Amino acid sequence: MSHDEHTQVAEESGKSETPISRRELGRGLRAIRAAVAGAGVVGLGASASAMDRTRGKQVVSESFRPQPLVQGGPGSKPAFLLSIFLRGGADGLSILAPSDDPDYQAARTATRIWNPTDPGLPDATMAGLPLTAGVPGVPDFWVPQVLQPLKELFDEPNSKLAFLHACGSADPTRSHFEQQNQMESGTTGNASPPLATGWCGRHLATKTDHIVGQSLFRGFSYSSFLAQTLNGGPGVTPIPDVTTYQFPISFPATPEQQQARADAFEDIYDEFGDPLDTSMESILKAIAVINNVDFDSYAPAGGAVYPGSPFGAQLRQVAQLAKEVSKLEVAQLNVGGWDTHDMQGVFLPGGRMYDLLDSLAQGLKAFKQDMVDDGREFIVVVTTEFGRTLAENSSSGTDHGHGGVMIVMGTNVMGGEVYTTWPGLATGQLDMGDIAVTTDIRDVFGEVVSSALKNPNTSIVVPPEPGVYSYAPVGFMA
């Protein structure tokens, strides 16, 4: 990075000039180093076992080399991906339930979603809303009343929202940490070599066509440290709060001083070389871009009303950035609280899962309304590390399971359908008491990347495991 390529970082300020002390500069350097560390500076496939240790060069087989990209028209924006991770393991059977299945009925009491015509319905709030009916080989699915906004999107003509059921990782672990790592990396515990990069990171690393060019701010996660999903991606950074993301020296400064500081940091990190130099450049670029966005005056389109939750605020900000920053391609949101071992609370406001589902449903509906007429193609993927046990526990909650539910929503999604190879809930059909996985999460990610994001490099984004796994699209994209 040459001196005349410095990224400009400026904020309007009428403050008088203030000299930079060595102590203040040191604090700024420490903050930058923390940001760079949080940015997850891991190159594509850069695990130790995949490196030529004597030469320091990555060994990549010919079949894994990036393929030619599907080109967009002049001036077109790349499709935008919003990845939402429900951390904790969301109970898929409290999102999408086969209410008439006798095995489901026998296993659930406090969290059972009822067919409203069932004479034993204990309370009207537990009555479900019908989602599908009469689909051969698939049970009729019902959703809780709190998901009315998603049912409306599902029922729209030419719907752009679909559910996937009985999906997850092929790995049997029920560990939060192991499954989150595998979901976000887009691999399993059997991967050889293990990949430190994330599936979105590998997408960005292999999609470098003329639409994107050499943008230094291509993606971010709402977090203090970069989400695993984006690891290995060029131009990515963690951002805890876009409304306060700024140059990490807090004392007053003129635009000229801010530029001088940015120049100084770039000169310092030039000495380190890549990957630190590139990460520093990406952070400064992200600061410059985001500081030029007026979040306070944004008016959502299409009558969209975002929920008042932190998740709703983040969705609103992501929609604005997706519209105003043409080279921003990926955002990752994280929603915690889904580990409902006790008092799951699906049916009434104040219940743990009710409030989470309420925010999720309202937020997704608002995001779709806000984005649909913008002209930029988009895709939203909602996932979680695993589903939960079929049977409730004694605390009116559920424990770590396996197969779960995903949601996809976007410009070219063939919605209004539940995509599943339903495994059944009878004792002999379960996986250690849980819904069996019949749709591999990698097939979902691969289809998102190849069809929605127009990147043909699925063998890199979701690498095959010889004799075990190879990518096969689910079929939810037009």
pLDDT tens column, 208-259: 775 555 567 899 999 999 999 999 999 999 999 999 888 765 556 777 877 7
- Chain segment 311-346, per-residue pLDDT in tens: 999 999 999 999 999 889 999 999 999 999 999 999
**Global confidence as pTM:** 0.84
**pLDDT for the residue numbered 273:** 72
pLDDT at 67 over 50: no
80-245+291-461, CATH topology level: Alkaline Phosphatase, subunit A (3.40.720)
Could you give the C-alpha distances from 132 to 128, 217, 382, 417, in angstroms and in order?
12, 41, 20, 8
**pLDDT for the residue numbered 270:** 77
**pLDDT for the residue numbered 418:** 97
- Chain segment 252-309, per-residue pLDDT in tens: 677 787 778 777 877 887 777 777 777 777 888 888 899 889 999 999 999 999 999 9
In whole numbers, what is the pLDDT of the chain averaged over residues? 83
Q: What is the mean pLDDT of residues 379-408?
A: 97
- Chain segment 342-362, per-residue pLDDT in tens: 999 999 999 999 999 999 999
Q: What angle do CA 259, 27, 9 make, to 5 degrees?
A: 20
**pLDDT for the residue numbered 278:** 74
d(CA 72, CA 212): 10
Share above pLDDT 90 across residues of the chain, in percent, rounded to a whole number: 64
* Dihedral angle over CA of 179, 184, 185, 191, nearest 10: 30
**pLDDT for the residue numbered 403:** 96
**pLDDT for the residue numbered 314:** 98
For residues 26 and 295, which has the higher predicted lDDT (pLDDT)?
295
- Token couple for 197: 């990069």
Q: Which of these ranges, 170-174, 366-370, 388-392, 424-428, has the smallest mean pLDDT? A: 170-174
pLDDT at 81 over 80: yes
- What secondary structure, in 3-state letters, does the chain show? CCHHHCCCCCCCCCCCCCCCCHHHHHHHHHHHHHHHHHCCCCCCCCCHHHEECCCCEECCCHHHCCCCCCCCCCCCCCCEEEEEEECCCCCHHHCCECCCCHHHHHHCCCCCCECCCCCCCCCHHHECEECCCCCCCCCCCEECHHHHHHHHHHHCCCCCEEEEEEEECCCCCCCHHHHHHHHHHCCCCCCCCCCCCCHHHHHHHHCCCCCCCCCCCCEEECCCCCCHHHCCCCCEEECCCHHHCCCCCCCCCCHHHHHHHHHHHHHHHHCCCCCHHHHHHHHHHHHHHHCCCCCCCCCCCCCCCCCCCHHHHHHHHHHHHHHHCCCCCEEEEEECCCCCCCCCCCCCCCCHHHHHHHHHHHHHHHHHHHHCCCCCCEEEEEEECCCECCCCCCCCCCCECCCEEEEEEECCECCCCEECCCCCCCHHHCECCECCCCEEHHHHHHHHHHHHCCCCCHHHHCCCECCCECCCCCCCEC
Grade residue 7 by pLDDT with cuts at 50, 70 and 90: very low
**pLDDT for the residue numbered 41:** 40
Q: Which of 16-20, 40-44, 48-52, 108-112 has the highest mean pLDDT?
A: 108-112
Q: What is the mean pLDDT of residues 61-69?
A: 40
